[in-house]
Chains A and B, each alone.
Chain A
Amino acid sequence: MTSTRTPAAPGPTASDERDRQQRRVGFSQKLGRWDVKLSPYLYISPFFILFVVVGLFPLLYTGVVSVHQWDLLKGKGDFVGFENFSTVLQAPIFWKSVRNTISIFLLSSIPQVILALVIAALLDANLRAKTFWRMGVLVPYVVAPVAVSLIFGQMFADQSGIINQILRNLGFTGIGWHSEVLPSHIAIASMVNFRWTGYNTLIFLAAMQAIPRDLYEAALIDGANRVRQFFSITIPMLRPTIIFVIITSTIGGLQIFDEPRMFDQFGRGGADQQYLTVTNYIYQLGWTNKNFGRAAAVAWLLFLLILAISVVNYLITRRIASEGGAKQKKRKKVSA
């Protein structure tokens, strides 16, 4: 997109005519030339230098650490090959953390996208006080995940929490939101949904508003009601945006750390590791057990998992979204 700029557009260094002019005007010609030649690289260099040092190098060096015995305090030890990987892959706790991560991810991303689409459709109307509603749904975004987790941790408290009390008042028994596997995943996913649904709603809303209104008018003439319009026009037209939201939430969601870490005061993912996520496990291996080699091995495995799920995600979304409305490539760019 951005890389295919029209070459006709004259850059400051572009036109020969201007160069000639500069040659006449400029007194320190050489300096000016260097300025023109090097400045572009100089200006983009901070990002690349920083990315190499704090992004790329650590990511690659994770591979080196993962094939060594490596203690947090004592540093690098013997080369052990894939021992760290095989130990981790045989540990039930690793698989538990993978299960928890995927479960929490599914419970947060799927309802979140559906809810965000519905709320966006509600907002995509000729509302009074538009800005109020839009700002209203975004409020949770400014609350730190740690704070959200403390609040929801209390709301979902097994004994003194508001949610169990309401259930009891309605005649049900309280649910073990902390002690049981699936309920704890639901509680943690609800924190993620709380914080990000509004944000994604606004992304969808922006994309919806870019849909030409005459499509809806035509549908109305054909006798389609609002629900039918939503599924036959809005969803297909939103396809690129939906893919975009799902992919970003996959990359972020599978690295979830804060919410399960803060769900109780111990931060070990529950008594039976029922809500320990992979990133929690990395922390535990590296900083609690001081075993950097194993932590690095798990980091690599998580990297592969993210990659695999992203690909699967992409394939599924492409298929689902392309059913119904196929041909519009034109506006792939509302929100990316």
Chain B
Amino acid sequence: MSTPSVAAIEQFAGKGAARSAARKRNRSAGLNAGSERRPRWLTYLLLGVTIAISFYPLYYAFLLASSTASDIARNPIPSLIPGSHFFENVQRVLESDIGFWKAVTNSVIIAVVTSLSVVLFSTLAGFSFAKLRFKGRGPLLVFVIATTAVPTQLGVVPLFLVMKQLGWIGQLQAVIVPGLVTAFGVFWMTQYLESALPYELIEAARVDGASMFRTFWSIALPAARPAATMLGLFTFVASWTNYFWPFIILGSANPTLPVALQLLQATFFKDMSLIMAGVVLSVIPLLVLFIAAGRQLVAGIMQGAVKG
């Protein structure tokens, strides 16, 4: 985000939303576009094909999950009408001994705790970087940004040793604790609060005698809400879909959903309808989330999300 002058911030004050320059330009571009001609059918056709390619693999999984293993062997191209065995296959997944419910519970706990904590700590740090003055602020922020480019996954061997030392192998905190706050989150909230939170509001709270933390809690946190929601969503998706580290540290005794899917594959590799039922079950929660909050994900990426 460009460097907003005080006047610019004043202009934004009270709106509660950061409008970056790019965003504003979007809107005016949108207005111009109103007088622009609508695109021809070819554009819609190509986009339609794109969307079909995005959806078909998911539908394919559902088609297989609603058939039987022998159906799949007989006809590799499933008919577009689902079969009648979906609930039966789901039943078999739930009753199998891979501990599907436990995996669901674990995934929910990890994703919820991680998202809340990333939002809280990132907003706290973002508030500090964006609005407070302290020695070393600039270099420290540069350091945070630089760490987003560090392939930390490569430290997996010593990290495992640390967890072993702590006696955390196979325990959920071994997955939760390393993800409590991310560089991406800190950077994201810093950028947002820089333009969304007017200094005047902080001043006012301070003059009224609020402590630093009170100022954060009552002024910065509410102002950060739109960006915090997006950050929470991205963190939730990343946590729900994460496989590498949970697979290494939790193993089959205490799996998350992706680990459970791998167990399902290793145990029932001949029974594709069963495996696909597990896949469908694991995807449904995030699809529901997507229907509810997909707009925010789109807006988040377009406002400058980076892969985190």
What residues make up the interface of A, taking CB atoms closer than 8 Å to B?
A: 1-6, 8-14, 18, 21-22, 25-26, 32, 35-37, 39-41, 43-44, 46-48, 50-51, 53-55, 57-59, 61-62, 64-65, 119, 122-123, 125-128, 131, 133-148, 150-152, 154-155, 157, 159-162, 164-166, 169, 194, 198-199, 202-203, 205-206, 209-210, 212-213, 244, 247-249, 251-252, 254-255, 257-258, 261-262, 265, 267, 279, 282-283, 286-287, 292, 295-296, 299-300, 302-303, 306, 310, 331, 333-336
Contacts and interface: CB of A to CB of B under 8 A. Distances in A.
Given A11-B131, A11-B133, A255 B295 contact: no
Interface in B124-156: 124-125, 127-134, 137-142, 144-145, 147, 149-156
Contacts of B152: 54-55, 58-59
A213 B144 contact: no
Contact of B265 (A244, A262, A295): A262
Nearest to A330: B2
B80 interface: no
21 contacts: A3-B139, A5-B3, A12-B202, A12-B215, A18-B203, A21-B207, A37-B134, A57-B162, A58-B158, A127-B43, A133-B47, A138-B290, A142-B241, A143-B241, A147-B258, A162-B60, A164-B76, A198-B54, A202-B298, A251-B149, A296-B158
A6 B9 CA distance: 12
A335 B216 CA distance: 27
A166 B77 contact: yes
Nearest to A154: B272
Given A53-B162, A199-B301, A336-B306, A9 B199 contact: yes
B15 interface: no
Interface in B268-289: 269, 272, 275-276, 279, 282-283, 286-287, 289
Given A296-B157, A299-B156, A334-B304, A210 B22 contact: yes
Nearest to B129: A44
B265 A40 contact: no
A169 B77 CA distance: 10
Given A10-B203, A206-B304, A142 B286 contact: yes
Contacts of B132: 11-13, 39-40, 43
B212 A35 contact: yes
B109 interface: no
B6 interface: yes
A283 B157 CA distance: 9
Given A46-B124, A147-B61, A283-B248, 16 more contacts: A9-B199, A35-B211, A37-B134, A59-B150, A59-B152, A65-B161, A136-B50, A140-B54, A143-B58, A154-B64, A162-B78, A194-B54, A249-B307, A255-B153, A257-B243, A262-B261
Contacts of A47: 121-122, 125, 144, 181-183, 186
B212 A36 contact: yes
A44 B172 CA distance: 25
Interface residues of B, number: 130
B240 to A, nearest CB: 7
A146 B266 contact: no
Contacts of A146: 241, 243, 258, 261-262
Nearest to B294: A135
Interface in B1-18: 1-6, 9
A206 B138 CA distance: 28
A26 B209 contact: yes
B3 A144 contact: no
Contacts of A302: 151, 154
B183 A51 contact: yes
A213 B32 contact: yes
A286 B190 CA distance: 38
Contacts of B305: 203, 335
Give the interface centre of B5, B153, B211 by most chain A CB atoms within 10 Å.
Answer: B153
B298 A138 contact: yes
A251 B150 CA distance: 8
